[in-house]
Structure 1
Amino acid sequence: MTTATPESPESPEPPESPGAQPEPRRSWLKEHSELGVSVLLLVLGLLVLTDALTMDVDIAQRGPIGPKTVPIAVGAGLLLIAVLLAVDVLRGGRGEAESGEDVDLSEPADWRTVLLLAGVFLATAVLIDPLGFPVAGALLFWGAAFTLGSRRYDRDPLIAAALSLLTYVVFNNLLGVPLPGGPLMGVL
């Protein structure tokens, strides 16, 4: 009768159970899934470049930078990033998982909050013409704060009104971007 000694270099592997499945191999595309982002950037870059190069510009160019310059630079940048990302992924580079966010992925999504925020945005889009940006913007800021959990009824409407008026004055009066004023059109 012989017994196995602990010094033996080869230890027998445990027998596989008859119902055990071999570990599935990941496909090449699944291992290189970041290439999808690269393809998306490539398509977007080609679209931006095609649109920029086929743009019909009627106005005379003033200075060295015309209306085609920025879209061409953005399109070329997108193509460059797509190529660099593809090369990195093919060389074995992998994106790192988010570690800084405090999100419990086992919890279900808070659809009530998402739908309420969507309703606030939709109401703003509908009310901006008849009420003007200052009133619709105040409702937007206050509605978003309320939906996200703030219950300071004494402070939130005042902050929302101040933010909305400040945004209106900056865009309408200082930057020259016309926003609908509504009833406050003559006042501001």
Structure 2
Amino acid sequence: RGRDILVYFRGTAAGSVKALLYNKDYSLGIRQLLLRRYSRVRGWVVSDRINSSSYHDELLRSVFCLAPAGWELWSVRFFEAILLGCIPVLLTDDVQLPFQQRLDYSRFTVKVEQRRILELESILSSINETVIRRKQEGLKEVWKRMTYQRPPEDGDAFTGIMDELARRVETLGKTPAGGW
């Protein structure tokens, strides 16, 4: 099945009562900028209108899926993109991703610095087919690490969390360099 949408983002961009209560900028202003700048670009679907019955189908049809911050520096659409084979495009500078010490995210994502969001169209259209295919293959190799299997399987999210905890336990109680 072909992917006929080059870039995809559907999601809310409006502030809410929560924004007023906490005096917090929703999505660091990134979603609002995406909607203003890219909603009319040919081959892109960028909209604040969400149709839940077609949302996942549209992800399946997309090459790149924008994953801007929401209330936090990450949002669930990052994981949805991975599971549906759409290359996530991270647009938040300081985001911490799961299993960063064990996964090379550059193999299956694109990261665009916040200061370069206005260049997004040229950045994404300059990525050649070979790189796109390589990243799509990377998604096929990594999706299982983002999901929980029943029963747990080696390499799924549960075993990844257990490995991460074991790694942290190994360093607990160790005397720091220069200490007693």
TM-score, shorter chain, exceeding 0.5? no
| TM-score, length of structure 1 as denominator length | 0.27
Q: Please identify which structure carries the higher strand content.
A: 2
TM-score (structure 2 length as normaliser): 0.28
Q: Rg bigger for which structure?
A: 1
